[in-house]
């Protein structure tokens, strides 16, 4: 599968991340696919940190999916890593895409959860429309 996103779609994705997460105090938010491809991102961290974080987030989701299967679940729809001051929230958008939010303790987890859900609802139609419009490559 290949994915091409128009300028307009990328703008839309960025504005969704801004409105639902970054405006609520999230340090950085990004969308990846399950292979670790970085689709869209916004926030304070430099790109050189976001690329490895994207790869590790996809791997993290993939590994816990295996754990889920072993206990009779298909997958886990969200993962939350709690640090002393910094936290990571990863949630599944659909079977192909994952939304990741990096945030500090000053932001309530409920706000992240709510923002992630609202963002996912708006992201799905953008990514699925683009996928449908492609002749598959592989």
Partner 1 sequence: MAFIDMKRNEIQAKLVYYGPGRGGKTTNVLHIHKTMSRQICGKIVTIDTKGDRTLFFDFLPLSIGKVMGLSVRIQLYTVPGQVLYNDTRKLVLRGVDGVVFVADSLKVQQQQNIESLQNLVENLQDEKIGIHEIPLVLQYNKRDLANSSIPILSQEEMEHDLNRDLGVPSFPASALKGDGVYETLREVSKKMIRRVTHKLRDGHY
Binding site for partner 1 (CB under 8 A): 1-7, 10-11, 33-39, 47-49, 51-52, 55-56, 58-59, 62-63, 66, 134-135, 137-138
Nearer to partner 1, 17 or 58 (CB): 58
Structure tokens at 102: 């990096």
Smallest separation (angstroms) from partner 1 to the CB of 109 = 27
**What is the rounded distance in angstroms from the CA atom of residue 54 to the CA atom of residue 98?**
10
Structure tokens at 62: 């993939």
Structure tokens at 81: 């890593």
Do the beta carbons of residue 99 and residue 120 sit within 8 Å? Answer: yes
Nearer to partner 1, 97 or 103 (CB): 97
Smallest separation (angstroms) from partner 1 to the CB of 103 = 22
| CA dihedral sign of residues 31, 25, 11, 49 | negative
Nearer to partner 1, 84 or 133 (CB): 133
Using CA atoms, how far residue 66 sits from 21, 62, 75, 91, 104, in Å, is 29, 7, 8, 16, 29
At 35 the three-state DSSP class reads coil
Smallest separation (angstroms) from partner 1 to the CB of 79 = 15
Nearer to partner 1, 38 or 101 (CB): 38
Structure tokens at 15: 């504005």
Nearer to partner 1, 19 or 113 (CB): 19
């Amino acid at each position: 599968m290949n994915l091409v996103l128009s300028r307009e779609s990328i703008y839309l994705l960025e504005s969704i991340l801004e409105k639902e997460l970054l405006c609520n105090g999230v340090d950085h938010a990004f969308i990846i696919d399950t292979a670790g491809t970085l689709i869209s991102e916004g926030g304070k961290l430099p790109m050189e940190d976001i690329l490895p974080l994207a790869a590790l987030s996809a791997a993290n989701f993939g590994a816990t999916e295996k754990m889920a299967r072993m206990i009779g679940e298909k997958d886990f729809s969200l993962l939350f890593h709690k640090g002393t001051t910094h936290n990571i929230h990863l949630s599944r958008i659909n079977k192909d895409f994952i939304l990741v939010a990096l945030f500090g303790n000053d932001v309530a987890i409920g706000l992240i959860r709510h923002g992630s859900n609202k963002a996912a609802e708006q992201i799905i139609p953008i990514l699925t429309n683009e996928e449908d419009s492609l002749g598959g490559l592989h």
